[in-house]
Structure formats: C-alpha cells, structure tokens
A and B are shown apart, each in its own frame.
Chain A
Amino acid sequence: MPPPSSLNATIVARRWLTRLRQNPAALIGGALLTAFAVLALFGPLLTPFGIDQRVGPVYGAPSPAHPLGLDDSGVDMLSLLIAGTRISMLVGFAASMVSVLVGGFVGVTAGYVGGWVDTALMRITDYFIVIPALPLMIVVATVWAPSVVHMVLIIALLLWTSTARLIRAQVLALKERVSVRRARAIGAGHARIVLRHIVPDIVGLLVATTVLAVSVAVFFEAALSFLGLGDPATVSWGRLIQIAFERTAISSGAWWAIIPPGLCIALVVLGSSLLGTAIQHAANPKAGIAHVSSRTFRIRPVPEASRD
C-alpha cells in the first residue's frame, strides 16, 4: 500500500532542505533574497526621510546624515532606495508567480492531454518564444497605461513560455510511469491522476522555476522602467536608474545616484539565480564523477596492520 502523498511530500521536502543547507550557493542566495524581502516588507517603515521630502541641494554628496547622498531633487537616496525595494520585489515575485502558474498550467495540459491540444499549445508557445521579448513588452506597455499591475502582467506575458516547456517535458516523462498507468487502468479520473501523481513530482521544478523567474522579472522591470514605461507615480530600482540617466547624474559625477539601485538589482538577480539553481540540484542531484581530472589518486605507504 503506497504511503499517502502528503507523507511523501514531507520526507522529500526534508531531504531537499538538507541538501540545500549543505550548498553554499543556496545559502548565499537564500540570505540575499530573505534580506531584500525583509527590507521590502518593513523598509518603508524605517526610511529616515520621506521620498518627496527635499532635504538638501541637487545631487548632494554622501554625508553621515545621508549615507547615499541626494538625488537631483534633493531627496535622500537611501530612502528612495528602500522605497524602491518594495515595488521591485513586489513586481519580481508577482510576475514570477503568475508566469509559473500560467506556464505550469499550459505545460501540464499540453503534456497530459497530448494530441492536437498539445500541438496547438506548443505552436503558440513557440511563437511567444521567437518573438523578441523586450520589444513586445515595450509595445504593450506603451499602449497600456503604465501601472504596477500592468507591468506584472506584461512581464508574465512573456515569461511563461520556458516554464511551459519544462513542465511539459517533465509531465510527458511522468505520464509513462507505472503508477500513472496503473491509475489510468483502474479508471481513476484525470483530475485525480494529475493532482495525486503528477503535480507532487513537479513541485520541485515549479519552485525552482519560480525562484529563477524572479531574477528575470526583476531584470525586465528594470528594463521597462529604464525605457520610461514604468509607473511614474511609483519608485522602483529600475526607475531610479532611469532618473539618474535622464537627469545626467554621470556628468554631474553623482555616482551615488547610479550605483546603489543597480547593485540591489544585481544582488537580487544573483540571489535568486543561485537559490533557484540550487533547488534544481537538490531535486535532481547528479553524481559528480570525473574520469579525468587535474588531480590524481594518491599513493599511501603500506599500512602496518594490512590484514586488519
């Protein structure tokens, strides 16, 4: 009698966590993401100054009171940065989750149902893959009034494709498993099969893909904002870079207006890449044999008690 899926899930999850704990990349990635998530949640409560509050001259240099200096409106950069964390992280996570949901649904449907549904869905997916992502996002963003929600949807619009393909491949493989075929043979309903046999096995892939998608989503948010298509009422890291660029921060020598927001983006992207890849490895550990290597086996002197 096979154990119920929920018990399996806990065992599997615990095994993954152990593997993740031993992986330095996972730890660094997890730490970075957690740090920024916390900053996003509680940051705005801690901002020393308001983001509309003028506290000094244009592009004021960093000082003890304002460690990251001031922007071209005399607003404290650190406060802007912290405020921007919330929007950037929100868009990143929301877009990633929507894209994985859509992609996962398409992937499971295509893989499980097969036939013409599969072909049709895959042709659509292929089209979205070949169409240049950023230009399409630009077109849609231009036509649609800029807002945070719209941005999330636009980014998700193009991100779902890779998830769909991955999930579909996995589902195709899982469909042939003995447990699934047995369930089908005894006449189990499709919904039941999908939920009990297929979904639990793709959870790992879904989680890894979600985390990895965060990096892509944050990147696109920064790109769209940079091109002036973000919500002008909100502050995000991407928008801060755009403002710095358009208001000639470089020629003013105001490096503090440029470096911090980009650095934050880089750290979040790096963190989610590291963690996402680590999760993928935790779900599918591969033995690391190398038959040829820069190091070789060692010779030991003959042991004293060689016969135990």
Chain B
Amino acid sequence: MAAVVAATPRAGTGSALRGSVGYLTRRLAVALVTVVVAVSANFLLFRAVPGDAASMVKVPGLSAAERMQIRADFGLDQPVGSQYLHYLGQLAHGNLGISFENRKPVTANLWQAVANTMPMVLLGTVFALVAGMATGLIAAWRRGTVLDAGGLGAALAFYAMPAQWLGLMLILLAAGHLPSGGISDVFLTDADWWARTADHLRHLLLPALTFGLASYGQYAVIIRTSMLETLGEDYVLTARAKGFSNWSVVRRHALPNAMLPITTLIAMSLGLLVSGAILIETVFSWPGVGLAVYDAVKARDYPMLEGAFLLLTVSVILCNLLADLVYLRLDPRIRSA
C-alpha cells in the first residue's frame, strides 16, 4: 500500500559533476581572457607612457649615443606590433627582461622581492583573520550588546586608519624596543641560525602587526553580517527544534553557512596581499614587492614595472580563480547551477 512515489530529484550525481566541470571551465575561460587582456594592457601601458622609455631612464650622465644604444638593446626602436610579439615570446620563456636600474633579470629581482614580502603579509593576514573572525563572531552572537558595538567599533576604527600612519604609530609606541626598519640587522653577520631567525622575526613583527591591524576590520564586518543572516535562517530554527544546544546549532549548521562568503574573501585577499603592502614597506623600509614597485616608478625602470605589474595582476586573477574553486568545493548549490 505504501507505494514508493516516483520522485525525480532535480539533479543526480552525474549532473552535479557535469555542473562542476561546467562551472570550472567557465571560470577558467574568464580567467584566461582576463590574463590575456592584462598582458596586453600591461604592454600598452608602458609603451603609451609619454616620452620614450629610454629617455626617461634616470641614470645620470648618459650620453645621447648611450641612450640610442639602450633603445636598440631593449628593442624600443622596433614597430609596436613586432615589439608586442617579441614581448609575448619572451613571456612564454619566462623572461621578463632586464631591469634598467641594476641590470639584473627582472624575474630574479621580483623573486627576491616576493620572498621578502610574503612572510610579512602572510603573518599579518593570520593576525587579521584570527582577530577578525573572533570579533565578528562574538559581535554577531552578542548582538546589540557592548561586545557587539565595541568590537565592531574597534574593528572599523583600525580599518579607518591609514596603514602608513598606523605603522608610524606602532613605531612610536614600540619606542625602540622593536626594530623599525629593514628585514634584518645588517651587523649580525656571523651569528648562528637561531639568532638570525630570531632577528628576522623581531624585524617582522611590527610590519606584520601593522598589516594585520589595518586589515582585520573587513573580515570582522563580513563575518558578523554573514553570521547574523545565517542565524535568521529557517534551518537554524529546525536545528534548535531538534534539541541541539546553542553551541551545537552554531557549530553544525550556522558556521558552515556563515563562513562561505569569508572563504571567498580570504582567497581574493590573498591576491591583493602582494600589492597591498606598498605603504607599509615604505614606512619600514621593507625590500618587498611594494617597495620594488615604488623604486621602479621613481627610477622609471620600465622592465621592472612591467614585470611587477604583470606579477601582481596575474596573482590576483589566479587567487580569484582559487576562490571560485574553494567555493565550488564548499557550496553544493553551485555544482548544479
């Protein structure tokens, strides 16, 4: 008598897989197009600059003949079309050119710069995530109380402070107890690994802390909003009706849903990490990507600029793609779209 009613769900597992692949392909296609656009725009940007690149090179005492030589060396006397093709060809070989300023390959310079920037911004992001999530979740749980207003207020206040100013303030506060410039003590030459690492960490602390404080506000706000919305959803009421304790409801049902927007935010922020530290690197004389860009601009070092821009743009695109992948993994609704 109890006939199994023919139930046809909207999508079977086969379709979910097809849906995922479809989503990925679309995302990948968009990313590729954007990369191509970025590469081309990058190329044009630095050719469209008024005045010839070589004439703008700020190396003192170059004669006219030497400038002509530089132009020929860098292929700047060729027509634009062939320059573009040449550029693409070089890119395919991973060759980003030679820096005008220190005559070393751009790739090598950037590599070193990235290696310097990453520990600082990664540590800073860890600070920011921990502080942001704690603030946001507590504020959402204790909505309307002092914890909410206070936590949110502090987060917004720090987020409102200009990063360079915050760095200077921290230097003032640290009052010489922590190093305020450079990535290591230049005079510490024959110390052992421990001492050198400790020294690195001491130099790392203030800039990373500045980065963390300056950016935790956005995480706090987003997770607070997301959690508040999630707590009002019907399935949370169902979970409560099932007899779960408040903490179980939050852990099993609210958090996994509330965290969805923040995972994409994190992945996207990773893309911006590399470029987001220019101001902090300037304040702390930190020889990372940001400072490299700044120096390259001042010296009109076009190959470096071109290379750096390409690096920064592509890393943003890649991290956005990564964000899409992560979201695909976490939210089953996307797979059937």
Contact = CB atoms under 8 A, between A and B. Distances in A.
Interface of A: 123, 126-127, 130-136, 138-139, 142-143, 215, 219, 222-223, 226-227, 238, 241, 244-245, 250, 255, 258-259, 261-262, 265-267, 269-270, 273-274, 286-294
Contacts of A250: 168, 171-172, 180
Contact of B236 (A241, A266, A288, A292): A292
Contact of B309 (A135, A223, A238, A270): A135
A241 B160 contact: no
Interface stretch (B70-78, B125-133, B277-285): B277-285
Interface stretch (B3-11, B34-42, B85-93, B190-198): B34-42
A291 B240 CA distance: 8
23 contacts: A131-B38, A131-B312, A131-B313, A136-B309, A138-B278, A142-B298, A223-B278, A227-B279, A227-B282, A241-B165, A244-B168, A258-B169, A258-B172, A266-B165, A270-B156, A273-B156, A286-B229, A287-B232, A290-B232, A292-B236, A292-B246, A293-B246, A294-B246
B50 to A, nearest CB: 6
Contacts of B254: 292
A123 B29 CA distance: 12
B308 interface: yes
Given A134-B275, A291-B236, A265 B228 contact: no
Pick the 8 closest A-B CB pairs, nearest first. A262-B165, A132-B275, A269-B160, A270-B160, A291-B237, A290-B231, A132-B312, A289-B232
Contacts of B157: 266, 270
A126 B36 CA distance: 12
Contacts of A238: 162
B308 A290 contact: no
A127 B38 contact: yes
Contacts of B30: 126
Interface of B: 30, 33-34, 37-38, 41, 45, 49-50, 141-143, 156-157, 159-166, 168-169, 171-172, 180, 228-229, 231-234, 236-237, 239-240, 246, 249-250, 254, 271-272, 274-276, 278-279, 282-283, 293-294, 297-298, 300, 305, 308-309, 312-313, 316-317, 320
Contacts of B229: 286
Among A227, A273, A288, A291, find the residue whose CB has the most chain B CB atoms closer than 10 A. Answer: A291
B172 A127 contact: no
Contacts of A138: 278, 293-294, 297
Contacts of A135: 275, 278, 293, 308-309, 312
Contacts of A136: 309
A241 B282 CA distance: 13
A136 B316 CA distance: 14
Nearest to A270: B160
B169 to A, nearest CB: 7
Given A139-B45, A292-B250, A265 B317 contact: no
Chain A contact residues: over half helix, strand or loop, or mixed?
Answer: helix
A127 B233 CA distance: 36
Nearest to B40: A127
B198 to A, nearest CB: 24
Contact of A288 (B232, B239, B313): B232
B237 A223 contact: no
Contacts of A215: 160
Contacts of B171: 250
Contacts of A131: 38, 41, 309, 312-313, 316
A130 B316 contact: yes
A283 B161 CA distance: 27
A139 B294 CA distance: 9
A245 B316 contact: no
A123 B32 CA distance: 12
A132 B316 contact: yes
B294 A227 contact: yes
Contacts of A130: 34, 38, 271, 313, 316-317, 320
A143 B50 contact: yes
Given A226-B162, A288-B228, A290-B232, 13 more contacts: A127-B34, A131-B41, A132-B274, A138-B278, A223-B163, A223-B279, A241-B165, A250-B172, A266-B165, A269-B162, A273-B160, A287-B232, A291-B231
Nearest to B231: A290
Contacts of A265: 160-162, 165
Contacts of B239: 292
A264 B276 CA distance: 22
A245 B283 contact: yes
Contacts of B309: 131-132, 135-136, 139
A93 B229 CA distance: 32
Given A123-B37, A130-B316, A292-B231, A258 B168 contact: yes
Contact of A294 (B141, B159, B293): B141
Contacts of A289: 231-232
Contacts of A126: 30, 34
A241 B162 contact: yes
A56 B38 CA distance: 53
A238 B279 CA distance: 12
Given A130-B320, A131-B309, A258-B165, A266 B141 contact: no
B169 A259 contact: yes
A68 to B, nearest CB: 15
A139 B316 contact: no
B272 A241 contact: no
A292 B162 contact: no
Contacts of A292: 231, 236-237, 239-240, 246, 249-250, 254
